[in-house]
Chain A
C-alpha cells in the first residue's frame, strides 16, 4: 500500500494563484451571495441589513425592466457574436493561407490592437466617430449621398452602433482563436484532405471546421460572459439611451447598484446572471465541443 505524499514544490507554485483566485474571485462571489439575501441599501444603512430570504430574488423576477434589459442583451448577442464568428473565421482562413510568413505575423500583431484598447476609450472614440454632425462615419456616408444618420439619437441606430463597435473590437479576438485552431492541422492532414475533399468549401467543412470547434466553444463561453458584463463601452457611448434602447443588463445592474445603491437587489441580479452564464456554458460545451486528434 503506497503512501500518498504531498508534492510541496507543486503546492508552493500553485498556492499564490489559488490564494489570489480565492481573494478576487471566490470571496466577492460569496459576499455577493450573502448580500443578495439581505436588505442592503447603502444609502439607507440605518434600516439595517437583515436577512430577507428570497425577497430580493422575488423583486428581480417581478422587475419588468430587468427582463427587458436581459432581452436587449440577447438581441445584442444575436447581432454581434454570429458576425464576429463569421468575420473571425474568414480573417483566420485568410491569414492562415498567407504565403508570406512575415506578413502573416504582422497581421496577427495588428489583430491584437483593438482588443488591447480599453472599452472606455473605445466608447469615447465611438462617440466621435458616430457623431451626427461631425462624425467620420456620417462623413463617409455623405460621400455617397447618404443624409446624416442620427446614430446615437434614435433607438435602433443606437443599438446598431454599439453592436458595430463591439464587432470591431472583438472580431480580431475570434480570428486569433480560430488561427490557433487552424494551426493545429498538420500539413499531411491538409494535403490528404485536399485530395479527398478538394478545395474550397468542402475542405473547410470536412477538414478545417472540426479543428475550430474547441475554439468556437471557448469563444462562445467568453463572449457570452463578456456581453453579460459589458458596461464601460455602452455607458460611455450611449449611457443606456436614448431612453432604454441600449440599456443592457449590466448597465441596468449598475443603475440599481450604484445609482439607487440597492446592493441587495443588484447582487441578486448578478447571481442570476452567474447562473445563466453557467447554464449557457454547459449548453455550449454539450452542443459544440468535440475533441479532435491532431
Chain B
C-alpha cells in the first residue's frame, strides 16, 4: 500500500519535473527586475574643441568604442551598412548591427530596456513607438548631444529635415528623441506597361476610379489590378485598415479623443476596402510587404500602395521584371482628398548604454542622417529625411519617385496617420485581428467597427486619458 502510494507520488513529481521543463520552453521568459528604467548618466566631459569641428576630432575620446544597432532587412538598412566603413574609418568607432524581423524588433528592444541588459545602443524607433519609448525613459533626449559643442556638428541643421518627419518619427511632447533615418510615405507604385496595354495613359487619381474603372480592366488572366498588403499584424492595422479610413473622412479618434471607427467616414473607407477586394489576389489577407512587392515586381499585380522605401526592389533587374515599366504617383484621393500613409523610423540613443557608448551612438546617428551623407544614402538605396537631397536635379532625374514622395510629405502628410501614444501596440493588435476578420467576412464591417470602438475606448480609459491622468497626446 505504502509502496504504491510512494510510486504514485513519484510519478506526480516526475511529471511535474517534465512539465516544468516544457513550461520553461513555452512560458514567458524570466522577466527582469521591476526597477524603473535607469536614468541616463551624464555624458563624458566634453573635451574643449580647438579649431574647426570635425567628426574625427569629436570621436577621438571614443576611439575603439563598440556600439550595437538594431536594423531591419530593408533597403535603408542595407544602404547604411554599405556606408558604415567610412564612418568607422574616420572615427575608430565600431558599429555592429543586428538585423531582425520587424515583428520582433519592438519585443527585443523592450526586453532589452526593461531587463537593462544594454545590448542595443542605437535604438530603432518606429513612428508608433516613439510615445512608448520616450515616455518610459528608454531613450535619451537628444538635446544633451546637440547642445554639446564637442559632439554637435555645426552642420547638423535640424531644420533641414522634413518637418513632418522630425515631428512624427523623432519627437514626443516637444522633445527630440530620434533623428529620421528610414523614412516612408505611402506611394502608388504602378506597372505603366500593364496600364498602357489596358488603354490607360496614367494612374487613377481617386480610389473610386481605381475600383470602378481600373479594377475591372486590369483583373484578368490570373493578374490583379491592385494588392493591398493585409496580413495580420502591423501590416493589417497600418498598411491596410488605417490606409483606407483616412481618405474617406474617417479617423481612429475624433477631436475629443473618442474612438471614431463607427463614424460615416471610417465605415465608408472600410466598406470600400471590402468592395475593392474583388480586384485583389484572393489570399490578400496573407500578403505581407514581401508578397505585395513581389506581386508588382513579377508583373502579377498592376498597382500597389507601398512604402517609398521599397523602391529599390523595383529598379533592380535582379529582383524585378518591371524595371522599365515601374512608375509612381501620389496615393489615390478619397472623397476628402489624398491621405497617403505615413511611416518610418528614427534612430535614438539607449538610456541603458554607458556615457561613452551614448556619445559614440550619437555621432553615428548624426553622421548617417546628415545632409552631407544624404545623397550617398539615397544612392545606396535609402530614403533620406533631408529636404536638400530632394532638390538635386541629378537625383530627381535618377529617382522619379521623389516627386510623389515629396508631395506626400509636404502637402498631405498626416502626423496622426497612426497615433504614436504608448497604447498603439495594444490597439494595433486588436485592429489586426478584427480588421482581418472583416476582410474574411467573418464579422461585418459595422459590427467589427463597433467592437473595436468599444475595445479602444476601454484601453484609453484604463490608460487614464479620460480621467485626466494622461495628456491627450497622439
Same assembly: yes
Q: Quick check: is A99 within 8 A (CB to CB) of the other chain?
A: no
Across the interface, B436 reaches (CB within 8 A) one of A132, A241, A274, namely: A241
Closest chain A CB from B351 CB (angstroms): 14
Closest chain A CB from B313 CB (angstroms): 17
Inter-chain CA distance A154–B283, complex, in Å, is 7
Q: Quick check: is A152 within 8 A (CB to CB) of the other chain?
A: yes
Q: A150-B283, A278-B19 are in contact. Are A42 and B114 (CB under 8 A)?
A: yes
Q: Quick check: is B28 within 8 A (CB to CB) of the other chain?
A: yes
Inter-chain CA distance A267–B26, complex, in Å, is 10
Q: Which of A45-53, A177-185, A187-195 interfaces with chain B?
A: A45-53
Closest chain A CB from B69 CB (angstroms): 22
B residues near A277, Cβ cutoff 8 Å: 19, 22
- 8 Å CB interface, A31-61 against B: 31-32, 35, 40, 42-43, 45-46, 48-49
Q: A242-B286, A243-B436, A259-B425 are in contact. Are A24 and B34 (CB under 8 A)?
A: no
Q: Quick check: is B25 within 8 A (CB to CB) of the other chain?
A: yes
A residues near B27, Cβ cutoff 8 Å: 28-29, 32, 253, 266-267, 270
Inter-chain CA distance A25–B17, complex, in Å, is 7
Inter-chain CA distance A229–B28, complex, in Å, is 11
Q: Quick check: is A213 within 8 A (CB to CB) of the other chain?
A: no
A residues near B153, Cβ cutoff 8 Å: none
- 8 Å CB interface, B51-96 against A: none
Contact B21 A24 (CB under 8 A): yes
Q: Quick check: is A219 within 8 A (CB to CB) of the other chain?
A: no
Q: Quick check: is A228 within 8 A (CB to CB) of the other chain?
A: yes
Q: A150-B283, A241-B231 are in contact. Are A257 and B433 (CB under 8 A)?
A: no
B residues near A240, Cβ cutoff 8 Å: 232
Name which residue of chain B comes closest to A151, CB basis: B283
Q: A42-B114, A43-B132, A243-B433 are in contact. Are A258 and B19 (CB under 8 A)?
A: no
Closest chain B CB from A160 CB (angstroms): 14
Q: Quick check: is A281 within 8 A (CB to CB) of the other chain?
A: yes
Q: A43-B422, A153-B284, A263-B28 are in contact. Are A258 and B11 (CB under 8 A)?
A: no
Across the interface, A25 reaches (CB within 8 A) one of B21, B34, B231, namely: B21
Q: Quick check: is B376 within 8 A (CB to CB) of the other chain?
A: no
Q: Quick check: is B16 within 8 A (CB to CB) of the other chain?
A: yes
Contact A153 B436 (CB under 8 A): no
Q: Quick check: is B20 within 8 A (CB to CB) of the other chain?
A: yes
A residues near B42, Cβ cutoff 8 Å: none
Inter-chain CA distance A260–B436, complex, in Å, is 19
Closest chain A CB from B13 CB (angstroms): 11
A residues near B18, Cβ cutoff 8 Å: 221, 225
A residues near B132, Cβ cutoff 8 Å: 43
Inter-chain CA distance A21–B20, complex, in Å, is 9
Q: Mark B222-239, 1 if CB is under 8 A from A, else 0.
A: 000000000111000000
Closest chain A CB from B12 CB (angstroms): 8
Q: Mark B350-373, 1 if CB is under 8 A from A, else 0.
A: 000000000000000000000000
Contact A228 B433 (CB under 8 A): no
B residues near A238, Cβ cutoff 8 Å: 286
Q: Quick check: is A26 within 8 A (CB to CB) of the other chain?
A: yes
Q: Quick check: is A250 within 8 A (CB to CB) of the other chain?
A: yes
Q: A42-B110, A132-B283, A243-B232 are in contact. Are A231 and B440 (CB under 8 A)?
A: no
Contact A225 B114 (CB under 8 A): no
Closest chain B CB from A32 CB (angstroms): 5
Contact A43 B433 (CB under 8 A): no
A residues near B114, Cβ cutoff 8 Å: 42-43, 45
Contact A25 B20 (CB under 8 A): yes
Contact A229 B22 (CB under 8 A): yes
Q: Quick check: is A196 within 8 A (CB to CB) of the other chain?
A: no
Contact B422 A270 (CB under 8 A): no
Q: Quick check: is B473 within 8 A (CB to CB) of the other chain?
A: no
A residues near B25, Cβ cutoff 8 Å: 229
Across the interface, A29 reaches (CB within 8 A) one of B24, B232, B442, namely: B24
A-side residues, CB < 8 A to B, are 21, 24-29, 31-32, 35, 40, 42-43, 45-46, 48-49, 132-133, 150-155, 158, 221, 225, 228-229, 231, 238-244, 250, 253, 255, 257-261, 263, 266-267, 270-271, 273-274, 277-278, 281-282, 285
B-side residues, CB < 8 A to A, are 11-12, 15-31, 34-36, 103, 107, 110-111, 114, 132, 136, 231-233, 281-286, 300, 422, 425-426, 429, 433, 436-437, 439-440, 442
* A-B residue pairs in contact (CB < 8 Å), sample of 12: A24-B24, A25-B21, A31-B30, A42-B111, A152-B286, A153-B283, A153-B286, A242-B285, A242-B439, A242-B440, A255-B429, A277-B22
